[in-house]
Amino acid sequence: MTKLSVNINKIATLRNARGGNMPNLLNVALDCERFGAQGITVHPRPDERHIRYADVYELHNKIATEFNIEGNPIDNFMKLVLDVKPAQATLVPDAPDAITSNAGWDTKKNKSFLQDTIAELKEAGIRTSIFVDANPEMVFHAKETGADRVELYTESYADYYPKNKQMAIKAFVQAAETAQEVGLGLNAGHDLSLENLKFFAQNIPGLLEVSIGHALISEALYFGLENTIMMYKRLLP
Protein backbone atom coordinates (compact mmCIF):
# COMPACT_ATOMS: atom_id res chain seq x y z
CA MET A 1 0.00 0.00 0.00
CA THR A 2 1.30 3.45 -0.94
CA LYS A 3 0.73 6.02 1.79
CA LEU A 4 -0.40 9.60 1.17
CA SER A 5 1.43 12.28 3.14
CA VAL A 6 -0.08 15.76 2.79
CA ASN A 7 2.38 18.64 2.66
CA ILE A 8 0.77 21.60 4.46
CA ASN A 9 3.28 24.30 3.46
CA LYS A 10 0.69 26.07 1.29
CA ILE A 11 -1.67 26.37 4.26
CA ALA A 12 1.08 28.19 6.13
CA THR A 13 1.71 30.43 3.10
CA LEU A 14 -1.94 31.47 3.08
CA ARG A 15 -1.91 32.13 6.83
CA ASN A 16 1.26 34.19 6.64
CA ALA A 17 -0.14 36.38 3.86
CA ARG A 18 -2.39 38.17 6.35
CA GLY A 19 -0.77 37.41 9.69
CA GLY A 20 -2.81 36.00 12.52
CA ASN A 21 -3.80 32.36 12.58
CA MET A 22 -6.28 31.91 9.73
CA PRO A 23 -6.28 29.27 8.43
CA ASN A 24 -5.18 27.43 11.55
CA LEU A 25 -2.30 25.18 10.52
CA LEU A 26 -2.76 22.66 13.33
CA ASN A 27 -6.48 22.31 12.68
CA VAL A 28 -5.87 21.71 8.98
CA ALA A 29 -3.24 19.07 9.75
CA LEU A 30 -5.62 17.27 12.09
CA ASP A 31 -8.40 17.53 9.51
CA CYS A 32 -6.11 15.99 6.87
CA GLU A 33 -5.54 13.03 9.19
CA ARG A 34 -9.25 12.78 9.96
CA PHE A 35 -10.02 12.80 6.23
CA GLY A 36 -7.67 9.88 5.61
CA ALA A 37 -4.15 11.23 5.11
CA GLN A 38 -1.59 8.75 6.42
CA GLY A 39 1.07 11.36 7.07
CA ILE A 40 1.75 15.08 7.38
CA THR A 41 4.75 16.69 5.70
CA VAL A 42 6.30 20.07 6.43
CA HIS A 43 9.29 21.75 4.81
CA PRO A 44 10.54 24.64 6.96
CA ARG A 45 13.01 27.00 5.30
CA PRO A 46 15.48 29.35 6.99
CA ASP A 47 13.39 32.47 6.26
CA GLU A 48 10.22 30.77 7.61
CA ARG A 49 8.22 32.14 4.68
CA HIS A 50 5.64 29.39 5.10
CA ILE A 51 6.21 26.75 7.78
CA ARG A 52 7.75 28.30 10.88
CA TYR A 53 9.98 26.41 13.25
CA ALA A 54 7.40 27.12 15.98
CA ASP A 55 4.78 25.36 13.82
CA VAL A 56 6.88 22.20 13.79
CA TYR A 57 7.19 22.19 17.58
CA GLU A 58 3.42 22.69 17.90
CA LEU A 59 2.55 19.97 15.42
CA HIS A 60 4.82 17.20 16.59
CA ASN A 61 2.91 16.28 19.74
CA LYS A 62 -0.43 16.45 17.95
CA ILE A 63 0.19 14.45 14.78
CA ALA A 64 -1.12 10.91 15.16
CA THR A 65 0.05 9.66 11.76
CA GLU A 66 3.55 9.80 10.30
CA PHE A 67 5.27 13.17 10.66
CA ASN A 68 7.77 13.91 7.89
CA ILE A 69 10.07 16.94 8.09
CA GLU A 70 11.86 17.93 4.88
CA GLY A 71 14.71 20.36 4.44
CA ASN A 72 18.35 21.14 3.90
CA PRO A 73 20.30 19.75 6.88
CA ILE A 74 21.86 23.02 7.99
CA ASP A 75 22.51 23.46 11.72
CA ASN A 76 19.12 25.00 12.58
CA PHE A 77 17.26 22.30 10.67
CA MET A 78 19.21 19.53 12.34
CA LYS A 79 18.54 20.97 15.80
CA LEU A 80 14.83 21.18 15.00
CA VAL A 81 14.63 17.60 13.73
CA LEU A 82 16.65 16.18 16.62
CA ASP A 83 14.43 18.04 19.09
CA VAL A 84 11.18 16.90 17.50
CA LYS A 85 12.22 13.38 16.43
CA PRO A 86 9.69 12.88 13.63
CA ALA A 87 9.03 9.50 12.09
CA GLN A 88 10.98 10.58 9.01
CA ALA A 89 13.44 13.26 7.99
CA THR A 90 13.79 13.90 4.26
CA LEU A 91 17.04 15.62 3.31
CA VAL A 92 16.67 18.11 0.44
CA PRO A 93 19.56 20.17 -1.01
CA ASP A 94 17.55 23.35 -1.56
CA ALA A 95 19.26 26.74 -1.50
CA PRO A 96 17.98 29.28 1.05
CA ASP A 97 16.46 31.45 -1.70
CA ALA A 98 14.85 28.58 -3.64
CA ILE A 99 11.14 29.09 -4.29
CA THR A 100 10.69 25.35 -4.14
CA SER A 101 12.90 22.27 -4.34
CA ASN A 102 14.50 22.08 -7.77
CA ALA A 103 17.12 19.31 -7.68
CA GLY A 104 18.05 16.13 -5.91
CA TRP A 105 21.31 15.35 -4.11
CA ASP A 106 24.45 14.32 -5.88
CA THR A 107 24.83 11.38 -3.51
CA LYS A 108 28.25 10.45 -4.86
CA LYS A 109 29.78 13.91 -4.45
CA ASN A 110 28.13 14.52 -1.06
CA LYS A 111 28.41 10.98 0.27
CA SER A 112 30.63 11.74 3.24
CA PHE A 113 28.47 14.66 4.39
CA LEU A 114 25.30 12.62 4.02
CA GLN A 115 26.81 9.67 5.88
CA ASP A 116 27.63 11.87 8.88
CA THR A 117 24.24 13.59 8.83
CA ILE A 118 22.27 10.37 8.49
CA ALA A 119 24.26 8.65 11.24
CA GLU A 120 23.25 11.47 13.61
CA LEU A 121 19.59 11.18 12.65
CA LYS A 122 19.52 7.39 12.87
CA GLU A 123 21.15 7.47 16.29
CA ALA A 124 18.11 9.50 17.38
CA GLY A 125 15.78 6.84 15.95
CA ILE A 126 14.66 8.87 12.94
CA ARG A 127 14.04 7.19 9.58
CA THR A 128 15.93 9.01 6.85
CA SER A 129 15.13 9.65 3.20
CA ILE A 130 17.26 11.42 0.59
CA PHE A 131 15.70 13.54 -2.15
CA VAL A 132 17.19 12.42 -5.47
CA ASP A 133 16.65 12.81 -9.20
CA ALA A 134 15.47 9.78 -11.17
CA ASN A 135 19.02 8.61 -11.75
CA PRO A 136 19.98 5.02 -10.88
CA GLU A 137 23.53 6.10 -10.07
CA MET A 138 22.30 8.59 -7.46
CA VAL A 139 20.03 5.93 -5.98
CA PHE A 140 22.91 3.45 -5.84
CA HIS A 141 25.18 5.86 -3.97
CA ALA A 142 22.33 6.84 -1.65
CA LYS A 143 22.41 3.32 -0.28
CA GLU A 144 26.02 3.85 0.79
CA THR A 145 25.06 6.88 2.89
CA GLY A 146 23.11 4.70 5.30
CA ALA A 147 19.74 6.17 4.32
CA ASP A 148 16.59 4.11 4.74
CA ARG A 149 14.81 5.51 1.69
CA VAL A 150 15.10 7.81 -1.28
CA GLU A 151 12.44 10.23 -2.45
CA LEU A 152 12.29 10.57 -6.22
CA TYR A 153 12.00 14.19 -7.38
CA THR A 154 9.07 13.99 -9.79
CA GLU A 155 8.91 17.44 -11.43
CA SER A 156 10.30 16.17 -14.73
CA TYR A 157 7.71 13.38 -14.75
CA ALA A 158 4.89 15.86 -14.18
CA ASP A 159 6.20 18.23 -16.85
CA TYR A 160 6.52 15.55 -19.53
CA TYR A 161 3.45 13.49 -18.62
CA PRO A 162 0.98 15.40 -20.85
CA LYS A 163 3.28 14.98 -23.86
CA ASN A 164 4.32 11.34 -23.55
CA LYS A 165 3.58 9.53 -20.33
CA GLN A 166 5.55 6.41 -21.29
CA MET A 167 8.70 8.44 -21.80
CA ALA A 168 7.92 10.51 -18.71
CA ILE A 169 7.90 7.44 -16.45
CA LYS A 170 10.85 5.57 -17.96
CA ALA A 171 13.69 7.01 -15.85
CA PHE A 172 11.61 6.71 -12.69
CA VAL A 173 10.98 3.02 -13.26
CA GLN A 174 14.72 2.47 -13.69
CA ALA A 175 15.49 4.41 -10.50
CA ALA A 176 12.83 2.49 -8.59
CA GLU A 177 14.20 -0.83 -9.77
CA THR A 178 17.65 0.21 -8.58
CA ALA A 179 16.20 1.12 -5.17
CA GLN A 180 14.70 -2.36 -4.92
CA GLU A 181 17.97 -4.00 -5.97
CA VAL A 182 20.03 -2.21 -3.31
CA GLY A 183 17.38 -2.48 -0.58
CA LEU A 184 16.19 1.13 -0.28
CA GLY A 185 12.63 2.12 0.48
CA LEU A 186 11.04 4.41 -2.09
CA ASN A 187 9.09 7.66 -1.72
CA ALA A 188 8.18 10.25 -4.34
CA GLY A 189 7.07 13.83 -4.50
CA HIS A 190 6.91 17.17 -6.32
CA ASP A 191 4.17 18.21 -8.76
CA LEU A 192 2.25 14.97 -8.47
CA SER A 193 -1.44 15.67 -8.96
CA LEU A 194 -4.85 14.13 -9.59
CA GLU A 195 -3.99 14.15 -13.28
CA ASN A 196 -0.72 12.23 -13.17
CA LEU A 197 -0.58 10.29 -9.89
CA LYS A 198 -2.44 7.13 -10.90
CA PHE A 199 -0.16 6.30 -13.83
CA PHE A 200 2.92 6.99 -11.72
CA ALA A 201 1.78 4.81 -8.82
CA GLN A 202 0.74 1.96 -11.13
CA ASN A 203 4.14 1.83 -12.83
CA ILE A 204 6.62 2.43 -10.01
CA PRO A 205 7.55 -0.78 -8.18
CA GLY A 206 7.85 -0.65 -4.41
CA LEU A 207 6.39 2.84 -3.96
CA LEU A 208 5.87 3.31 -0.22
CA GLU A 209 4.81 6.94 0.08
CA VAL A 210 3.95 10.05 -1.91
CA SER A 211 4.20 13.53 -0.44
CA ILE A 212 1.83 15.98 -2.12
CA GLY A 213 1.11 19.58 -1.21
CA HIS A 214 0.78 22.28 -3.86
CA ALA A 215 -1.53 20.42 -6.23
CA LEU A 216 -3.61 18.83 -3.47
CA ILE A 217 -4.23 22.11 -1.63
CA SER A 218 -4.97 23.90 -4.92
CA GLU A 219 -7.42 21.21 -6.02
CA ALA A 220 -9.09 21.35 -2.61
CA LEU A 221 -10.25 24.88 -3.47
CA TYR A 222 -12.51 23.28 -6.07
CA PHE A 223 -13.35 19.91 -4.57
CA GLY A 224 -13.04 20.48 -0.82
CA LEU A 225 -10.23 19.16 1.36
CA GLU A 226 -11.88 15.95 2.52
CA ASN A 227 -13.07 15.00 -0.95
CA THR A 228 -9.68 15.81 -2.50
CA ILE A 229 -7.80 13.62 -0.03
CA MET A 230 -10.17 10.74 -0.73
CA MET A 231 -9.75 11.28 -4.49
CA TYR A 232 -5.97 10.99 -4.10
CA LYS A 233 -6.21 7.88 -1.97
CA ARG A 234 -8.36 6.18 -4.59
CA LEU A 235 -5.53 6.65 -7.10
CA LEU A 236 -3.01 4.80 -4.95
CA PRO A 237 -2.59 1.01 -4.98
| pLDDT tens, residue by residue, 194-232 | 999 999 999 999 999 999 999 999 999 999 999 999 999
Per-residue pLDDT of the chain (237 residues; tens, 9 = 90+): 999 999 999 999 999 999 999 999 999 999 999 999 999 999 999 899 999 999 999 999 999 999 999 999 999 999 999 999 999 999 999 866 555 556 899 999 999 999 999 999 999 999 999 999 999 999 999 999 999 999 999 999 999 999 999 999 999 999 999 999 999 999 999 999 999 999 999 999 999 999 999 999 999 999 999 999 999 999 999
Q: What are the residue numbers of the active site? A: 43, 70, 190
Q: Are strands 127-132 and 88-91 parallel, antiparallel or unpaired?
A: parallel
Global pTM value: 0.95
CA distance 40 to 26: 11
Q: Which residues pair with 40 in a beta bridge?
A: 6, 67
How much is the pLDDT for 98?
A: 56
Which residues, in sequence order, are bridge partners of residue 189?
153, 211
Are 39 and 69 in contact by the 8 Å Cβ rule? The answer is no
Q: How many CB atoms lie within 10 A of CB 104?
A: 23
Q: How far apart are CA 212 and CA 23, in angstroms?
A: 19
Domain 3-235, CATH = 3.20.20.70
One-letter amino acid at 39 equals G
Residue ranges covered by each domain of the chain: 3-235
Q: What is the DSSP string of 16-61?
A: HHH-TTSS-HHHHHHHHHHTT-SEEEE---TT-SSS-HHHHHHHHT
